[in-house]
Amino acid sequence: MKTAAIVVVAAVDGAVVVVAIGANTSGAQAPTLHRTDLPNGLTVLSESVPGARSVAFGAWVRAATLHERPEQMGVSHLLEHMVFKGTRTRSAQQIALALETLGGSLDAYTEREHTSYQARVLDEHLPEAASVIGELIFEPLLRQADLALERKVILEEISMVDDTPDDIIFDVHNRAVWGDHPHGFPILGTRATVKALSVADLHDLHERAYHPGRLVVAASGRVEHDQLLDVLQSTGWSTRERGDMTPFPLDPVEAAGPHAEHVSRKDIAQTHIVLGGQSIAFGDSRRYAFALLDMLIGGGMSSRLFQKVREELGLAYSVQTFSSSYADTGAHGVYLASAPETAQEALDAVRDVLRDVAANGLSEADLAAGKRQLRGQLVLSMEGVSSRMYRAALTALYGEPYRSIDELKALVDAIDLEQVRDVAREFFDPDRQILVSLGPKAVR
């Protein structure tokens, strides 16, 4: 029998400490997420994973593409690159060697809402991981000479995307859905904006965003919460100045209505297609019904689109759904690529599948099968320490409740046919979606 969630809050040396967040489940060990909000504004979360011998450690900065002005598109991504060029005590080479020589890894990424830095190391090397990422975040040199070099690297990255049609098409789709809103900005920026960005722009963003008041730290694996707090103290995280915690202002989101756009490319062999639009925000109560439907339509080899478009008709090598959820909205769609002479037939087949689901929903048998598949995916996704670190961070970044595996499975089990029908009608009707294509021949 399940009992109510346990939340024990205490004040320790000025820090608000949530000792445990979780749910007791009879006969099983309850998951426990520890959280501490330090006096300087830093949010710290950890989950100990029994049997693990490694630790995933990450920091999320609450600033990214959504917070950029049009003329500064790509500044968040450029800053993410630049911090690796050198810090107060480490050169670029020393940063690269610091964890790799211990068998660990160090990585970073920029997305729409956050910029993140993560490491994966053996448990005894957690202090080294915290030290390296702490220096990247708080003490980058941001030198003019490094900017000249790294700007060329970013321009090469943009060229790489330009040479990859199945990357370009998603940028085209984002612009078609969001227009001039930052949701539609390319994360890399444009050639013009990257060339115009200066060291002053990087310093301005760093000063506004890279401080404890805008940071979330999460760790998962062989780690105890008190140990993590000690490591953050010894590596200087806990003593950094708080900084401004005022959220970056965001314009209201307005999505475009149904329409079609084509980008002509005669130099590629296929027509690349995305059919989609706006979808649900991260905290939407329909999230699990949406995930189930999205999975059954285009989430794998057993999906309806794969079976219809590839296996039955042989019109595409790859056809799949995709979705992203943000704090205030989301985006989703279907991607496929087909020869120009068969692209229209492939798109028509996709629309047939979507129309059927939008009009009829799912059968009881399909719903039951979808629940089994989604439950399995959720459980398997929680097997690794990195995925658990991400889940811990989401509780702070989005106010996401921390749920046990049993609670997640219960949410899936609660999905009913009416929820699925509502989601299908609102989000999967192809006549309400935006069509974008790229290649030698347009589709309609």
Q: What kind and span of H or E run contains 295? A: helix 287-298
Round to whole Å and give the CA distance between 200 and 220.
36
Give which of 359, 398, 370 is closest to 280, Cα–Cα.
Answer: 398
| Given 47, 68, 71, 80, the catalytic residue | 80
Q: What kind and span of H or E run contains 324? A: strand 319-325
Tell me if residue 72 falls in helix, strand or coil: helix
| Structure-block tokens of residue 14 | 């000025």
- In the numeric block, the tokens 């370009």 are attached to 168
User: Within 10 A of 182 (CB to CB), how many other CB atoms are there?
Assistant: 18
Contact status, residue 229 vs residue 34, Cβ threshold 8 Å: no
Is 124 catalytic? The answer is no
Q: Is 24 exposed, middle or buried (0-12, 13-18, 19+ CB in 10 A)?
A: middle
Q: DSSP class of residue 217?
A: E
Q: What kind and span of H or E run contains 96? A: helix 92-100
Q: What kind and span of H or E run contains 360? A: helix 343-360
Catalytic residue positions, numbered: 80
